[in-house]
Amino acid sequence: MHDALPSCFGEYGVQVVDTSAGSNKVTQNLVTCLYQTKLAVPSDSFFVAVVSDGEVVLLLGDMYSEAYKKTKARPASIEAILVSRSEHVFGKKYHSTKAQFEEGGKAHDIVIECQISPSSEPRMYIRVDREIVVQVKRLAWKFRGNQTIIVDGNPVEVFWDVHNWLFNPRVGHAVFMFQTCLSSDKPWLKEVAACSSVLQWPGTYSFKDKETSGPSGFSLVLYAWKND
């Protein structure tokens, strides 16, 4: 098996052996765990801290002093970086959110507008800070697709799957993914292209390899539900 990468959602990883050309190299395990919880009042006056070996490796919220006092731990030598986010958004014609595509960068307004009417051809627009960056006119034929846009001078790959909006509106939702491009060859794009639906897309390939020196990437997945 060549260029094998395990994708595990759960508590245990697996080892994959690359046997191509007589190789006996064992790749490093990769485990991804996703948790969902509810914080008391979705914005301020709280903290969530993860401590490992006496270091606060992850700190969320705004009560920094209280977090270090309660945990009796020191700040991490390397700050945690947000590599992916998924969000459910609701709307009738417009679906909006905010996204920061690079660490310490500007938070951008993202608005998805979908025009579906029996009297006209369906269309879709995606705006970043009020500027149209994606325009799909023949949406009935292009309900799945992708396009590269430029944000903060950097390429961002945008994928969409609005099949449910057009053909199954009562029970389904559309899915959008914004993925920063880490390199010109975009090896993760081959995995996405092989999937028939956004629902099968890999979560993210933006984890930074410890042997590389490139910047970490970021992926935003939006599940867009239409209100009646």
pLDDT in tens, 166-222: 998 777 899 999 999 755 445 445 555 444 455 444 444 444 444 443 445 789 999
pLDDT for the residue numbered 147: 94
Note the pTM of the prediction, 2 decimals. 0.68
pLDDT for the residue numbered 129: 96
pLDDT for the residue numbered 108: 96
pLDDT for the residue numbered 188: 45
Task: Please give the Cα distance from 108 to 115 (Å, whole number).
Answer: 23
Name residue, tokens 């867009």: 224
pLDDT for the residue numbered 143: 95
pLDDT for the residue numbered 79: 81
* Percent of the chain with pLDDT strictly greater than 90: 40
Q: What burial class does residue 128 get, using C-beta atoms within 10 Å of its C-beta: 0-12 exposed, 13-18 middle, 19+ buried?
A: buried
Low-confidence residues in the chain, pLDDT < 50: 1-17, 41, 184-185, 187-188, 193-196, 199-215
What is the Cα gyration radius of the chain?
A: 20
Task: Please give the Cα distance from 114 to 109 (Å, whole number).
Answer: 17
